[in-house]
Amino acid sequence: MSAKRRIGPFEVNPIGLGCMSLSHAYGTPPPREDAVRLLNRALDLGHDFLDTAALYGFGANETLLGEAIGHRRGEYVLASKCGMTGVEGKRVIDGRPETLLATIDESLRRLRTGVIDLYYLHRLDRKVPVEESVGALARMVEAGKVRAIGLSEVSAATLRRAHAVHPIAAVQNEYSPWSRNVEIGVLDAARELGAALVAFSPVARGFLADGVHSPDMLAPGDIRRGMPRFQPDNFPRNLELLARFRAIAAAAGCTPAQLSLGWVLSRGEHVVAIPGTTSTDHLAENFATPAGLPREALEEVDRLMTPDAVAGPRYPAATQAEIDTEEFA
């Protein structure tokens, strides 16, 4: 594990924990007692940056964190998100200030805390100027409910507009060797503005952790079933990349997951990764990622996982239309 990295006023270990999969998105969540055990184990190992959202489990994930580790609140930097929530059983993007100001109070109650360290706008609401949404988050900072502000899945242009209203401490976008769209603009813009780039899905939704060998492995309700890269017409080509990626990891003396995480962290000192997992073994494996992977291995990954080598876009067209991030042609 390399030295701590900065997110706004906080210093955290470069590998945090994305908590979504404990309540949301990847099929049936683990039993509650297993999730509680994993969260406490994460803190015991030294994970000091935990990420959740009002959306995950439509509040269930925030409730889980509050109940499982609320009594250890001083041990971790807590991040959550607003602007995309569950309304009557459906996912809704709503960046209106009045909605965001209501969401923060609901999140604080579920998380059993008086303040959220880093609060993101989860998605840009195209019907609401980002300046208005960020203005609402700025009022939360003034009220002492939030310590720092972030944005999720935005472009460099949107980041700059938001930063002009209030300093943005972090931008959370998908980033892994097979999802490199942040390199179009956000990675450099974040560095320039002094914001962290928080990489979600840094092991490619489990794929580069060598965890998905067939789309048939994915449980009913798993969001990856609808993602183009896991579809039968793209998956075989991506498996070929995985085989070569696995060989690079073996030669470097690390696991595929550690190679993916090490590559992400090598992209800049302002980059922090938040892999998610439901396995305590994988939790420990991720946290044990060596600080200095061989440069040759990282360069091999760079050459292997070019944007045009990966088969299929990140999201289906309907989902992509909701997202502000730049995409490769």
- The gap between the terminal CA atoms of the chain, to the nearest Å, is 35
d(CA 177, CA 264): 7
d(CA 35, CA 101): 29
* Residue 56 annotated among the catalytic residues of the structure: yes
- In which order are the strands placed within the sheet that holds 196-200? 17-18, 49-51, 77-82, 116-121, 146-152, 170-174, 196-200, 271-274
- The active-site residue, picked from 56, 76, 175, 315, is 56
d(CA 302, CA 39): 33
DSSP per residue over 212-276, as a string?
Answer: -S-GGGSPTTBGGGGSGGGSTTTHHHHHHHHHHHHHHHHHHTS-HHHHHHHHHHTT-TTEEEE-B
As a residue count, the chain comes to: 329
- Residue 51, φ and ψ in degrees, nearest 5: -125, 125
Nearest-5° Cα angle at 248, 299 to 207 = 100
Q: Which residues are known to be catalytic?
A: 56
